[in-house]
Amino acid sequence: MRVAVSATEADHNVAGVDPRFGRCSFFAIYDSDTGEWNSFPNPAKDAVGGAAIKAVEFLKSKNVDVVVTGNLGPNATSSLSAAGIRVITGVTGKVLDAVKMAGG
Amino acid sequence: MKVVIGSGKGGTGKTLLSTSLALTLEYVRYLDLDVEEPNAHIFIKPDIRERIPFSIPVPEIDFNRCTYCGECAKACEFGAIFVGSNTVNVFEKLCHGCASCKLACPENAISERPYIVGEISIGRRDKIEYIMGYLKLTEALSTPLIRHIKKEYGMVSGDIIMDAPPGTSCPFVQSISDTDFVILITEPTPFGLSDLEISVEIVRDMKLKAGIVINRADLGSKEVKEKISGLGLPVLLEIPFSKEIAVGYSKGIPLVDVLPEYREKIKKLWERIREMV
């Protein structure tokens, strides 16, 4: 299972959960099968419009199964649902702890 | 002659000046292009005889043909389509109606349906022909509506006055394109100056003729005023910061009715523009 957390910093060991989804700074992606971490700058961060949709597009390309974040807007919710990606929202604190909520 | 009144910063007097221009010149067509909050009708008081809905074409997916290949989403410059594993989401509010998705679809699964984003009102007050664009609440894209109004109603001969939306982005650029003259109205404050400088740069890039009108001219510092005159465009008129004008404006009374001596000044302004064009 691949879990993506919206993150405030590149280093997942110190990063907090970014409360924004579409315009978060980084996506920390954890693969629970291999235990591997990867961090990517969010390509949609400075999008003029439709940031959340572009962010979901990106996560889909990374074969993400679950998104853990603070808050999701309507465009993000419908795109994640269309992509078949599950969501856990209302999460605050450290990225390392957030991943555990997804069963990682 | 097609003249557009723009400003950059909002609330500097676009509508104040443009409505008084129309009411002074009389034989004109007036286009309210400030479609997010058109308000010239408050001063011109036209009789509206027709309201026409305005729509843009948005994609409609034929799910019997769609293979979810994602080519449409890739082709969309505006991120208005999201292709999921067994569904496609179209975000109408992001769509510019360009039909790139339709052209990109290898399965011919995309057709277009109209999506209403606003309304055009057509009316008259004496000899002023009045046309107003109105963008529906929650819609974000004013440019297609502005483009349509200019194309449908702004191509006639004779004098046309256009009230541009505030700002210096696409709606402003769309409003001033293909006009004979741009009046940039500003106030001598740092905010007014900052947006004026950007507007001047755009007008120069687009190789348009332009001049400046300073509203609330006795406000702000001398330094700002010097910078305004240093921009290399003629200052065509100065309107003072007057309680009388503001009180009239708040009641829907145009400048030229509050201070009738402005009729003469505005006529001269128009003659000067005609000489420059």
**Interface test with chain A among B63, B82, B142, by most A beta carbons within 10 Å:** B82
Q: Which fold does the domain B2-54+120-276 belong to in CATH?
A: Rossmann fold (3.40.50)
Coil, helix or strand at residue B167? strand
Give me the pLDDT at residue A80, please.
96
Provide the pLDDT for residue B231.
Answer: 94
Separation in Å, CA of A94 to nearest CA in chain B: 30
How many other CB atoms are there within 10 angstroms of residue B157's CB atom? Answer: 7
Q: Count Cβ–Cβ pairs < 8 Å, chain A vs chain B.
A: 40
Contact state of A49 with B73 under an 8 Å Cβ cutoff:
no
Model ipTM value: 0.83
Does B60 score more than 70 pLDDT? yes
In which element (H, E) is residue A41 found?
strand A36-41
CA of B260 vs chain A CAs: smallest distance (Å):
45
Domain ranges of chain A: 2-101
- Inform me whether the C-beta atom of residue A47 falls under 8 Å from chain B C-beta atoms: yes
- CA distances (Å), B59 to each of A49, B147, B150, B171, in order? 18, 20, 25, 23
Beta B181-186 vs B2-6: how paired, if at all? parallel
Q: How confident is the model at residue B222 (pLDDT cuts 50, 70, 90)?
A: confident
**Cβ pair B79:A82 closer than 8 A:** no
| Rounded CA separation B153/B52 (Å) | 13
Contact B84 A53 (CB under 8 A): no
pLDDT band for A48, please (50, 70, 90 cuts).
Answer: confident
Of chain B, the percentage scoring pLDDT greater than 90 comes to: 93
Find chain A residues with C-beta within 8 A of B61's C-beta: none
- Mean pLDDT on A23-30: 97
CA distance B62 to A75: 21
A77-101 pLDDT, tens digit each:
999 999 999 999 999 999 999 998 8
Is A82 within 8 Å of B91 when comparing Cβ atoms? no
Domain range summary for chain B, segments of one domain joined by +: 2-54+120-276, 63-108
Read off the pLDDT band of B221 (50, 70, 90).
confident
Q: Verify whether the Cβ–Cβ distance B140 to A78 is below 8 Å.
A: no
Q: Phi-psi bin for A15: left (phi > 0), alpha (psi -120 to 50), beta? A: beta
CB A5 within 8 A of CB A69: yes
Mean predicted lDDT score pLDDT of chain A: 94
CB of A74 within 8 Å of any CB in chain B? no
Average pLDDT in the B111-134 region? 97
Distances (CA, A) of A22 to A57, A76, A92: 11, 7, 16
Q: Name which of A50, A75, A81 is nearest B78 (Cβ-Cβ).
A: A50
Give the DSSP H/E element, type plus range, for residue B122.
strand B110-125
SS3 category, A26? strand
In CATH, the number for domain A2-101 is 3.30.420.130
Q: Which fold has domain B63-108?
A: Alpha-Beta Plaits (3.30.70)
| Distance between CA atoms of residues B231 and B186, nearest Å | 13
For range B226-243, the mean pLDDT: 93
Q: Is beta strand A2-7 parallel, antiparallel or unpaired with respect to A66-68? A: parallel
Q: State yes or no: pLDDT of B225 exceeds 80.
A: yes
Share of chain B above pLDDT 70, in %: 100
pTM above 0.90, yes or no: no
Chain B environment of A53 (Cβ under 8 Å): 79-80, 82, 89, 91, 94
Give residue A104's pLDDT. 61
Collapse the DSSP code of B273 into the 3-class scheme (helix H, G, I; strand E, B; otherwise coil) and give the result: helix
> Chain B contact for A42, CB < 8 A?
no
Which residue in A47, A49, A57 is closest to B82 by CB distance?
A: A57
Other Cβ atoms within 10 Å of A103 Cβ, number: 10
Verify whether the Cβ–Cβ distance B85 to A83 is below 8 Å.
yes
> Looking at the partner chain, which of B73, B85, B94 has a beta carbon nearest the beta carbon of A49?
B94
Q: Is the CB of residue B41 less than 8 Å from the CB of residue B200?
A: no
